[in-house]
Chain A
Amino acid sequence: MAQFVARTERSGNIFSRVTGLIRAGQLSWSDRPLWYDVYVSSPPLSPPDWNVKLAKHGEPIRPIFYEEDVLRAKFYKKYRNTAAIQIDSSKQSISQQFLNEYQIIKNENPTEENKEEEEIFEKTEKRLQENGITLK
């Protein structure tokens, strides 16, 4: 088959070129390529053409941010040397423990919603140190 197929890779994708050969009678249906049936039953999810614009072409990429990013940044600004994280470890990192504690303290005093963030930050520091976690 390979000797018949047009080597013009831009004229169409491989499927339409082979189907064209079958339509034109150059290739008999029983001589179709081995992959043809598989392609028919599960065609590619995106068009296999060379000149298509796929979805989101030219659009800006969405930035990924989390709520705790600001607090985490603040934490690491103050405690640089506590920063080492072992990614494979199942243990929570100190910054994560700090964030959890911060959330707990914030929820403890729901009435004082306008409480200064600084104050909660300091309280969290204190409580972590009470629990034997040294912050450097």
Chain B
Amino acid sequence: MSRVILRNFIRNFSSASATVPRTATTTVTQPDSTTLQKATVQPTVLKPYVSKSLQNEQDLFGFEKAVHIDEMFKARLHFGHKIGTVHENMKWALYGERLGVCIFDLETTKKYLVRALNFIAHVSMRGGMILFVTSNRDSMFDVEKAAEEVNQYSHVRKWQSGTLTNTRQLLGASVRLPDTIVFMSTLTSLGESHPAIVEATKMAIPTIGIVDSNSDPAYLTYLIPANDDTPNSTEYLLRLFKMAVKKGQEERKRQQQQEPGK
């Protein structure tokens, strides 16, 4: 339980609690059951019903311009593991194999990275709580520090099973669960998927995962195919995540100043 600071109040989960003005709900009625049924296959059909800030601008925070392929290359995001360790479900993200080492297609990585950053920023704008998780010992301190810098949370030690699913037993109180979990590495030192991935999925918490060529992308919501072992790449990705959280927080502050009553 080391680094997760679980706030001692009842889950402030619903989007109604977000301070972001929700004009859309007052004008447009809620979707009927047919639309909802369609949405289970194609989520975007619900777009007319969701909040106003998501209606016009696709890339509200400008991440398309903030992420550069040459920077990603310099941060060694393109290096995967040896081909013998490749996961079948990660082959879509590979550009190819150079002398036995998997190489990621950075064009694909950029597309996925921008989407994940956009998600983080929007969640942060709605006052969401973001938890950074890793089991990689090399990057644990960096991850802790990065989370602290943006007033978010991290869990980089041993994952006690039930940390998300059995909070009442473990903590003796109702706690607020994170709204998004970012996995800086999805594998444990034994090469198994991190136990928190399934727990988050059980509790319907969206997950963002840096998936290397040997990782299993199952259950993860937003994938970022990239190198998760090199300090350079972790540093680069953390910098982007911090930027996304900060941009969301700044936007939130700006909106609150505009409409102090809300």
Q: Could you say which interface size class chain B belongs to?
A: 35 or more
- Do A34 and B128 touch (CB < 8 A)? yes
B97 CB to closest chain A CB, in angstroms? Answer: 4
- Do B89 and A54 touch (CB < 8 A)? yes
- Which of A40-48, A98-106, A116-124 has 4 or more CB atoms under 8 Å from chain B? A40-48
- Which of A6-14, A76-84, A107-115, A127-135 has 4 or more CB atoms under 8 Å from chain B? A6-14
Contact residues of A: prevailing secondary structure? loop
Residues of A within 8 A of B221 (CB): 13-14, 39, 44, 48
Q: Is B102 an interface residue (CB 8 A)?
A: yes
- Which of B137-145, B151-159, B199-207, B254-262 has 4 or more CB atoms under 8 Å from chain A? B199-207
Q: Chain A CB within 10 Å — which of B25, B111, B126, B204 has the most? A: B204
8 Å CB contact of B18 from A13, A34, A56, A64: A34
- Do A41 and B203 touch (CB < 8 A)? no
8 Å CB contact of A33 from B14, B98, B119: B14
- Do A2 and B11 touch (CB < 8 A)? yes
8 Å CB contact of B204 from A23, A33, A62: A33
Docked pose: A40 CA to B122 CA in angstroms: 12
- Do A9 and B30 touch (CB < 8 A)? no
- 29 CB-based A-B contacts, threshold 8 Å: A1-B14, A5-B204, A7-B202, A13-B221, A14-B221, A19-B39, A29-B31, A30-B16, A31-B16, A34-B15, A34-B126, A34-B179, A37-B15, A38-B119, A39-B119, A40-B39, A41-B50, A41-B122, A44-B222, A45-B223, A46-B217, A55-B91, A56-B94, A57-B92, A61-B94, A62-B94, A62-B96, A63-B98, A64-B97
Starting from the known contacts A37-B126, A45-B112, A63-B98, 8 additional A-B residue pairs (CB-CB under 8 Å) come to: A7-B202, A9-B219, A18-B204, A29-B31, A34-B126, A37-B50, A45-B223, A53-B88
Residues of chain A touching chain B, judged by Cβ–Cβ distance below 8 Å, are 1-2, 5, 7-9, 12-20, 22-23, 29-46, 48-59, 61-64
Residues of chain B touching chain A, judged by Cβ–Cβ distance below 8 Å, are 11, 13-18, 25, 30-31, 33, 36-37, 39-40, 43-44, 46-47, 49-51, 54, 58, 83, 86, 88-92, 94-98, 102-103, 111-112, 115, 118-119, 122-123, 126-128, 165, 177, 179-180, 198, 201-206, 217-223
